[in-house]
Amino acid sequence: MLFFKKKKKKKKEAEEGKEKKDQTKQRVPECTPANGEDTQAIEKTTLESEAELEELKSSVAERHQRVQKMAETVQHKIDSRQFKKKKEETEEEEEEEKQEQS
């Protein structure tokens, strides 16, 4: 009797596993198209997506160039300010030395 219960239990588990597998298949659509129209639609959306991707890449490249240009401008301003400060300090030191010598 125990043997038959185990056999029924295994059969029931196998059926449940099959049902779960079938449900999973229903939820996940297959990637292969059923007819030529689907293929064309997929190709069209793929081409559109690729075009959008290229536009985004060019947009990002342009922004990157603008940011680099701004960074260079800021660095130039910082360098020029530092140069002016050093120049002023040097001039002040020279004036002090002249006054001390006099």
Q: How far apart are the first and last CA of the chain?
A: 123
- The string of DSSP codes covering the chain is -HHHHHHHHHHHHHHHHHHHHHHHHHHS--SS-SSHHHHHHHHHHHHHHHHHHHHHHHHHHHHHHHHHHHHHHHHHHHHHHHHHHHHHHHHHHHHHHHHHH-
User: In this predicted structure, what is the pLDDT of residue 35?
Assistant: 58
pLDDT more than 90, % of the chain: 44
- Asked whether the predicted pLDDT for residue 20 surpasses 90, the reply is no
Reported as a single tens digit per residue, the pLDDT across 23-72 is 666 665 555 555 556 777 788 888 899 999 999 999 999 999 999 999 99
What is the pTM for the complete model shown? Answer: 0.46
How large is the average pLDDT for residues 3-9?
Answer: 71
Look up residue 51 and give its two tokens: 């075009």
